[in-house]
């Protein structure tokens, strides 16, 4: 099934290009941050074994709402990376603590 992510990434490329109508090699670079944030917020365990497609979709919605509205609520775009960094740490910390509590039980 390793071809599947590649196929989806290709699809994402087409969607992206049809949106912005230019293509250049650096277009989607540094998107890993928001994407990883979306996946982790969606409840996917990064070590594998747990996660759902619905969760990931909701995670993408959350990160998109945040990144679109940061400017509207008056936060400088420079802080965007900071916010997403905190977000990843927070979401992953919730998972980590949950796993620890479950282990203790």
Which spans of this chain sit near other proteins (rule: CB under 8 A)?
A: 25, 32-33, 36, 40, 46-47, 76, 78-89, 92-93, 95-97, 99-100
Sequence-distant (≥ 6) Cβ neighbours of residue 46 within 8 angstroms: 39, 40, 92, 95
| Residue whose CB is less far from other proteins, 14 or 97 | 97
At its nearest, how many Å lie between other proteins and the CB of residue 47? 6
| Residue whose CB is less far from other proteins, 69 or 82 | 82
| Residue whose CB is less far from other proteins, 15 or 28 | 28
Phi, psi of 72 (to 5 degrees): -65, -35
Please name the residue that has the structure tokens 């996660």: 51
Please name the residue that has the structure tokens 């590649």: 6
């Amino acid at each position: 099934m390793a071809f599947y992510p590649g196929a989806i990434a290709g699809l994402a490329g087409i969607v992206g290009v049809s949106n912005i109508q230019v293509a250049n090699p650096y277009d989607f670079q540094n998107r890993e941050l928001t994407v990883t944030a979306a996946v982790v917020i969606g409840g996917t365990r990064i070590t594998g074994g747990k996660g759902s497609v619905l969760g990931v979709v909701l995670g993408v919605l959350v990160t998109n709402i945040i990144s679109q509205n940061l400017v509207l609520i008056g936060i400088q775009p420079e802080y965007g990376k900071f916010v997403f960094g905190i977000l990843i740490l927070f979401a992953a910390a919730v998972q980590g603590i949950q796993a620890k509590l479950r282990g203790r039980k």
